[in-house]
């Protein structure tokens, strides 16, 4: 058990990872610029404010804490924004990750866990996506993550950095103990947007696209509970410590859920109607993204135990009703 540097540790997934690391006996050190994260979410270890682009700051933080591994979550992740402003994503996600890798390899940090995405696969409808599927991203978000995966392999060949990459499908839910949860500025994720509509914090949920070739016309996504997701990251650290490296893992359940089905389940869990309207498709959205995660099961022993839609919505609903971030 040791120190883990968590970039983006004040964000949604990063803060849950910090909780899981602390519960496992590690010391998570959050490195975050708070542009999308929340200082209130840093509860489980030291906080270091900084930019990924600031090499001197990264060098100082790595020297001070001497982590045994880095978990790299810090990134911009709004698909629509990446279509409108691709340069922002290449500068932040790719150039920032390059600076981080320069600092990490110079410091001799031995292990690296990268937060990637199923958006690297692009549009492959009707296919359960596993790690062998071709990567053809259709937006700058997916493209930037694929580029970092490639860059990480090159750095590893040059330096011996042991690493794994996790390609997430749709992450949902919240810490069932309600210490941390999901809150973005602005909020774009389906479940918290629907919960905001139920609570009256926004007028309505917009269902983007009802003419997809799916069972009810709305796009299909594979949802995984955030606590299951971060459990995979703890297992990834153990995998690296035992000599594993250069492995990509999908993280999903293998079950696709439509936007309409999500809305109906949200109404059942909250016992409230979800005010909604139908809108056009968003640029950059795929019809269906469903995961094959056999590799994570076989190599990590990972099983998504909390990833039923009612449980994910229930945990998110509980956190949204009782907590929130202000700074």
The pLDDT tens digits for 274-288 are 999 999 998 878 888
Q: Indicate the Cα dihedral angle 59, 233, 44, 89, nearest 10°.
A: 50
The residues annotated with a catalytic role in the active site are 141
- Stretch 65-94: mean pLDDT: 95
CATH topology of domain 3-172+224-251: Rossmann fold (3.40.50)
In which band, very low, low, confident or very high, does the pLDDT at 327 lie, cut at 50, 70 and 90? Answer: low
pLDDT digits (tens, 9 = 90+) for 116-150: 999 999 888 667 899 999 999 999 999 999 999 99
- Annotate 121-138 with DSSP letters as a single string: S---TT-EE-TTS----S
Residue the block writes with tokens 């409808």: 125
Enter the tokens of residue 132.
Answer: 């062998």
Residue the block writes with tokens 């120190």: 3
Query: Helix axis angle, 309-322 relative to 259-270, nearest 10°?
Result: 60
For residue 24, what is the DSSP state?
T
Distance of CA 27 to the CA centre of its chain: 20
Residue 208 neighbours by CB under 8 Å, 6+ apart: 219, 259, 279, 280, 281, 282, 285
Percent of the chain with pLDDT over 90: 81
Provide the pLDDT for residue 233: 98
pLDDT digits (tens, 9 = 90+) for 195-254: 888 888 888 999 999 999 999 999 999 999 999 999 999 999 999 999 999 999 999 999
Nearest to 229, CA basis, from 284, 321, 292, 306 = 306
- Annotate 263-315 with DSSP letters as a single string: HHHHHHHHTS---EEEEPPPTT--SEEEE--HHIIIII----SS--HHHHHHH
Per-domain residue ranges for the chain? Answer: 3-172+224-251, 190-221+254-322
Nearest to 206, CA basis, from 224, 222, 219, 221 = 219
In which band, very low, low, confident or very high, does the pLDDT at 326 lie, cut at 50, 70 and 90? Answer: low
Confidence (pTM): 0.93
CATH topology of domain 190-221+254-322: UDP-galactose 4-epimerase; domain 1 (3.90.25)
Nearest to 212, CA basis, from 256, 169, 265 = 256
What is the phi/psi pair of residue 253, to 5°? -105, -20
Report in angstroms the alpha-carbon separations of 93 from 86, 124, 143, 216, 315: 11, 24, 10, 35, 30
Nearest to 50, CA basis, from 75, 30, 73 = 30
Enter the tokens of residue 92.
Answer: 């932040």
Give dist(CA 19, CA 230) in Å, integer.
9
Sheet holding 247-251, edge to edge: 47-49, 27-32, 3-7, 69-72, 111-117, 162-168, 247-251
pLDDT digits (tens, 9 = 90+) for 144-201: 999 999 999 999 999 999 999 999 999 999 999 999 998 877 777 788 888 888 888 8
Provide the pLDDT for residue 282: 85
Nearest to 102, CA basis, from 141, 39, 154, 147 = 154
pLDDT digits (tens, 9 = 90+) for 8-62: 999 999 999 999 999 999 999 999 999 989 999 999 999 999 999 999 999 999 9
Residue the block writes with tokens 């859920």: 257
Give dist(CA 288, CA 127) in Å, integer.
8
C-beta of residue 12 within 8 angstroms of C-beta of residue 183? yes
Give dist(CA 161, CA 91) in Å, integer.
23
């Amino acid at each position: 058990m040791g120190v883990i540097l968590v970039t983006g540790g004040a964000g949604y997934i990063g803060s849950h990872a910090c909780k899981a690391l602390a519960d496992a006996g590690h010391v998570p050190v959050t490195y975050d610029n708070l542009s999308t994260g929340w200082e209130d979410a840093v509860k489980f270890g030291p906080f270091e404010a900084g930019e990924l682009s600031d090499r001197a700051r990264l060098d100082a933080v790595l020297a001070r804490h001497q982590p045994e591994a880095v978990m790299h979550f810090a990134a911009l992740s709004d698909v629509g924004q990446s279509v409108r402003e691709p340069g922002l994503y290449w500068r932040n996600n790719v150039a920032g990750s390059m600076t981080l890798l320069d600092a990490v390899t110079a410091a001799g940090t031995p292990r690296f866990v990268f937060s990637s995405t199923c958006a690297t696969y692009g549009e492959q409808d009707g296919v359960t996506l596993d790690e062998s599927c071709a990567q053809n991203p259709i937006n700058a978000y997916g493209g930037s993550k694929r580029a970092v995966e490639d860059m990480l392999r090159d750095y590893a060949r040059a330096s011996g950095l042991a690493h794994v990459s996790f390609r997430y499908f749709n992450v949902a839910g919240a810490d069932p103990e309600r210490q941390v949860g999901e809150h973005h500025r602005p909020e774009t994720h389906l479940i918290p947007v629907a919960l905001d509509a139920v609570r009256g914090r926004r007028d309505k949920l917009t269902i983007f696209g009802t003419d997809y070739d799916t069972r009810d016309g709305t796009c299909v996504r594979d949802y995984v509970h955030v606590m299951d997701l971060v459990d995979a990251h703890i297992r990834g650290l153990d995998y690296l410590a035992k000599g594993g490296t250069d492995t990509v893992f999908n993280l999903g359940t293998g079950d696709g859920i439509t936007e309409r089905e999500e809305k109906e389940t949200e109404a059942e869990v909250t016992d409230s109607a979800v005010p909604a309207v139908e809108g056009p498709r968003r640029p950059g959205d795929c019809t269906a993204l469903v995961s094959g995660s056999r590799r994570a099961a076989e190599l990590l022993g990972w099983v998504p135990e909390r990833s039923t839609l009612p449980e994910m919505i229930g945990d998110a609903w509980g956190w949204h009703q009782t907590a929130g971030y202000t700074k």
